[in-house]
Amino acid sequence: MAPNAPDQLMRVLSLSDAPVDSPFPELEIDLSEDDLRETAYEILVAACGHGALSARTQTKPKTGLHSVTSLTHRGLRKAAHALGSMRDKPVHPASKDKKRPPTTAEIVQYQMRIDEESETRIRRALLRAFSHHVGKPVESMLVPLELLQCIGPRDFTNPAHYQRWRRRQLRILEAGLLVYPAIRSEGGDTTLSQRLQKMLDDLQNSSTEVAKNTEGWNALKIAALAKAGRSVSGEHPSPKLHWADGYPLNVHLYLALLLSTFDTLEEGQLIDEIEDVLEMFKKTWGILGINEVLHDLCFMWVLFNQFIAAGQIETDLLTTAQAHMKELAALVDNHVVVHGAQAVKDSLTTIHSWCERRLLAYHETFPQGAQEVMEALLAIGLSAGRLLAEGSNQGGGAKRKDKNLSNFESDKVELYIRSSLKAAFAQMMETTDTRRRSFKKGDVPVPPLAALAADIGQLAADERAKYTPVLKKWNVCAGGIAAATLHACFGREVKQFLTGLQKVGPDVLQVLKAAQLLEEVLVQIAVEDAVDAEDGGKSLIREMQPYDCESFIEKLSKEWLQNALVNLIEWVGRNIEHEEWKPKSTREGYAHSAVEILSIIDETMEAFFGLPFSTNPQYVEQLVSGVESAIQLYCQKTLAGTGKKERYVPSLPSLTRYDPSEFKKIGQQLQKSRIVAPSDGEVSITRNEELVNICVRINTLHHLSTEMEYLGKRLKHGWQKEVPSRTELQQNGQQGASSFTDVARELDNGVQFLIELVSYRVVFFDLRSVFWEGLYAGGVKDARIGTVIDQLDPLLGVVAETVAASLRNRVVGALMKASMDCLVLVLLAGGPSRAFSLEDAGMLEEDLFELTDLFTAGGDGLPEALVTSATRQIHGILSLFTLNTAYLIQKLREVYPEADAGTTSMFKSNAAVVPRTTGVEVVLTGEVRQLSYRFG
């Protein structure tokens, strides 16, 4: 990866803080990393031989390390350059002469943090040791023993440093000869080992220096050389000493050398001189018992471990480690005897396990994609896994040898895809549960499962964009596998959701609709990804069992619509019974139940527009019919219990001759009369409360009637993506859908019915004692219209305050008409309590004017033309009161000569119904219309 990698990739692994466990056993002897590093450097100096010690030259060793193939060499060069070979470093810090580049030895000394004092001390001691081993190979020299013999306290400026150095040399001897010997002890060697162990313990626990060439020193030397000189072939003396080539001591010492190939100033970057340094390290192989396999194994591990330590962004380290892994595979294939076969297996297992843990949850490991790192991790992890599988296959007998590993990588990648997506889905489910719990009562959010479907759709899109291109390099069906996995995960949730379903509503339909859309997306991904599959993706498509949402949605949609309409009807029947019909329920003076039913209808229509079949005329008609039924029921229940206007019309008395004795008696009785409740047993309440009650009903039905037009337009625009607001719909000049015309007409009829009812109630019931029974009773002079007006005026005020402004003139106009009808009945069918004379005509005209003035209110009331039209009939009747009886009889005989026949006749079909009489009924036409009178 380039040095200028984006900051968000600096820590792509969620588990990066946890160090990886080393596959090599820990040393059971007290040797620190510094001890191993310093010992490794001493071995390296010794391995370079007498010539390198006597003349530290600038000339670099020739390359050509036979055990490291050209492939690995090219990988090292590429990694070194990629990791910083172009750094601006004019002179290496290790160079003692700033005018020349450093030698390989100087670079190694610097990288291994060996100071000049220590380096000089080591070089001088080993020169003296080599002078005694002229002509012998370096493997025949026991380096710690030689250093102990050549270096004393005087070579250290600090005595404590010498003691620490001395204890290290003794512990190295103990580790190499006794704890981790390359050649294990036989029965006869026990005494030698015990004697050597005691001498080393005594020296480590003693601060007294053992003089060289003394008996104690010679005994130690003899025992150590005897232990190190044991030979596998049994020849004596051994041409090679085994003191640092026992596993795992040799590996830990070699790892200390390999770690120095990384730049001490820039973490995770190989030094430019990597090839020359490795060539120098090869010289230690004879002493440490390192071969090609252990070299590749150790360097592979160092590169991999350094990748983790450096923040897991330097992918070239993984690439180089994988190259060494391939070298191991080649050596195994070529049947090279592997020294430390268990170490190879342990290392591959560690690398494979570490990579697999992250790849099994790569969505968490690589949240931003990090394709380059993920690809490198996949490559080395799969390589390690294959080597382990092949090794197991080869060592498992004939049955295991038949195991097919041709699809190893693709099978592993499929496992990673399914595992990681299931983990990601589980995380989304936790988020969904949290979202569900966070909803407050009364909220109307997106159903959690519908939101989950949207999240999964986004996850599928991210998978396809970020991860599938990498995964397809090892499995051509990576995208289809991901889609099938998500399809199965969400399918289980949908099935569980439907299984536990108790109530069908818009939220259920929303979930199923979201599931259907998600399924379409996932199937499309699988189909497109199946192009390169061997079977054309048929197995994946078969795996994706359909949710079958479409048929289920249609079934539930029908059920929902039916239930919604039934519930609407039930709501009306249940709640309107408790309506108080008080104006305080709403500012506009209509009942609160009207607001609620309109709200329910609006919610029902809103949900209906989301149904998949909402444009089907059959279901539109069902919706309209259900809404109309609910409104009709509301209208019927609003009118129920109010009675009919005819119940308030008094029974008209039979016309009899006027009896002066009865006139006075009846007049006195009427003055004492009281209002009597209707005969059908209606509960008595104050007249103002009842008047207000009916006015609120009028307002309510009128409000519903006006809302029908809005609902019609709402139905028309319901399927648009952006539904116009209520104001926009009301301002729209277009006519709404005609679906609700009939119910609107029925509501208007209900309004008219209540208006007429309230007017008749006020006039003929609330004002009965003063109007129908009291007006002009016992004489016009003593029972004028003023008493009626005094009680009618406040009732008009109640109406004006209660009834909707748009209905005010209609209601007051109906009251005026009812008042005029009552006045006509008083004048024409007033019964035996009333008698009129010519002298009363003037007072009657004055009373009519006063009543008319009440309704016009000086221009603030009803329109004058409307009032004039309503009083035209009464003016005609009053004109008759100015005529004498003889003239009226004469005019009547002229119009109806049949009246003299003395027979009873019913004249025209449009004649007004008049009270029953004991004589002949006639109808005057012309100026006096609908006038009934009795002849004696």
**pLDDT, tens only, 473-503:** 999 999 999 999 999 999 999 888 887 666 6
CA distance 294 to 68: 12
pLDDT at 45: 95
The yes-or-no verdict on residue 724 having pLDDT over 70 is no
- Peptide bond preceding 445 in cis form (omega within 30 of 0): no
CA distance 812 to 816: 6
Instruction: Render pLDDT for 649-673 as a digit per residue (tens, 0 to 9).
Output: 888 776 544 556 655 665 555 555 4
- Peptide bond preceding 19 in cis form (omega within 30 of 0): no
The yes-or-no verdict on residue 552 having pLDDT over 90 is no
pLDDT at 498: 81
Q: Which CATH number fits domain 754-888: 3.90.75, 1.10.357, 1.10.10, 1.10.3470?
A: 1.10.357
Instruction: Render pLDDT for 452-465 as a digit per residue (tens, 0 to 9).
Output: 999 999 999 999 99
Neighbours of 707 (CB within 10 A): 21
CA distance 372 to 315: 7
CB 504 within 8 A of CB 511: no
CB crowding 869-895: b at 16 or more within 10 Å, else e? ebbebbebbbebbeeeeeeeeebbeee
**SS3 labels along 292-327:** HHHHHHHHHHHHHHHHHHCCCCCHHHHHHHHHHHHH
* Token representation of residue 723: 């539904």
Sorting pLDDT into bands at 50, 70 and 90, what band is 778?
confident
Contacts of 745 (CB under 8 A, 6+ apart): none
The yes-or-no verdict on residue 87 having pLDDT over 70 is no
Residue with the larger pLDDT of the pair 595 and 587: 595
Backbone phi, then psi, for 933, in 5-degree steps? Answer: -150, 160
Of the candidates 790, 756, 814, 772, the one whose C-alpha atom is nearest the C-alpha of residue 676 is: 772
The yes-or-no verdict on residue 912 having pLDDT over 70 is no
CB 196 within 8 A of CB 227: yes
User: Does residue 768 sit in helix, strand or coil?
Assistant: coil
CB 13 within 8 A of CB 367: no
Start-end of CATH 1.10.357 domains in the chain: 754-888
What DSSP letter does each residue of 350-374 carry, written as one string? HHHHHHHHHHTTHHHH-TT--HHHH
pLDDT at 8: 35
CB 901 within 8 A of CB 847: no
Q: Which residue is it, tokens 């103002």?
A: 688
Q: How many CA atoms lie within 13 A of 599 on its CB side?
A: 6
Task: Measure Cα distances from 736 to 624, 706, 708 in Å.
Answer: 13, 12, 9
Crossing angle between the packed helical segments 478-499 and 408-438, to the nearest 10 degrees = 40
Sorting pLDDT into bands at 50, 70 and 90, what band is 682?
very low
Neighbours of 861 (CB within 10 A): 21
Q: Which residue is it, tokens 């060439």?
A: 213
Q: Which residue is it, tokens 């719990």?
A: 437
Side chain identity, residue 775:
L
Instruction: Render pLDDT for 499-522 as a digit per residue (tens, 0 to 9).
Output: 766 666 678 878 888 999 999 999
pLDDT at 662: 56
Q: What is the mean pLDDT of residues 313-323?
A: 90
Chain-centroid distance, C-alpha 934: 88
CA distance 33 to 30: 10
User: Does residue 240 sit in helix, strand or coil?
Assistant: coil
* Token representation of residue 661: 């004795």
Of the candidates 383, 381, 282, the one whose C-alpha atom is nearest the C-alpha of residue 329 is: 383
Q: What is the dihedral of CA 906, 908, 909, 914, to 10 degrees?
A: -60
Sorting pLDDT into bands at 50, 70 and 90, what band is 718?
low
Neighbours of 905 (CB within 10 A): 12
Of the candidates 503, 638, 528, the one whose C-alpha atom is nearest the C-alpha of residue 581 is: 638
The bridge status of strand 931-934 relative to strand 921-924 is: antiparallel
Sorting pLDDT into bands at 50, 70 and 90, what band is 436?
low
Contacts of 860 (CB under 8 A, 6+ apart): none
Q: How many CA atoms lie within 13 A of 543 on its CB side?
A: 18
What DSSP letter does each residue of 703-745 carry, written as one string? HHHHHHHHHHHHHHHTTSSSPPPHHHHHH--SPPPGGGHHHHH
Number of continuous H segments (helices) and E segments (strands) in the chain: 35, 2
pLDDT at 67: 36
Instruction: Render pLDDT for 22-75 as a digit per residue (tens, 0 to 9).
Output: 899 999 999 999 999 999 999 999 999 866 665 553 434 433 333 333 335 545
Average pLDDT value over all residues in the chain: 79
pLDDT at 630: 92
Contacts of 183 (CB under 8 A, 6+ apart): 230, 231, 232, 242
CA distance 657 to 467: 111
Of the candidates 24, 670, 112, 21, the one whose C-alpha atom is nearest the C-alpha of residue 305 is: 21
Q: At CA 222, angle to CA 217 and CA 228, rounded to 5?
A: 125
* Token representation of residue 358: 């992250």
pLDDT at 237: 57
Chain-centroid distance, C-alpha 893: 94
What DSSP letter does each residue of 168-227 carry, written as one string? HHHHHHHIIIIIS-SS---GGGHHHHHHHHHHHHHHHH--SPPPTTSHHHHHHHHHHHHH
CA distance 806 to 887: 48
**SS3 labels along 592-642:** HHHHHHHHHHHHHHHHHHCCCCCCCHHHHHHHHHHHHHHHHHHHHHHHCCC
H/E element, 922? strand 921-924
- The answer to whether the pTM exceeds 0.95 is no
Of the candidates 631, 577, 575, 638, the one whose C-alpha atom is nearest the C-alpha of residue 602 is: 631
Beta bridge partners of 270: 262
CB 361 within 8 A of CB 420: yes
Q: What is the mean pLDDT of residues 519-547?
A: 85
**SS3 labels along 71-95:** HHHHHHHHHHHHHHHCCCCCCCCCC
* Token representation of residue 131: 């002078």
pLDDT at 935: 31
Instruction: Render pLDDT for 282-302 as a digit per residue (tens, 0 to 9).
Output: 999 999 999 888 899 999 999
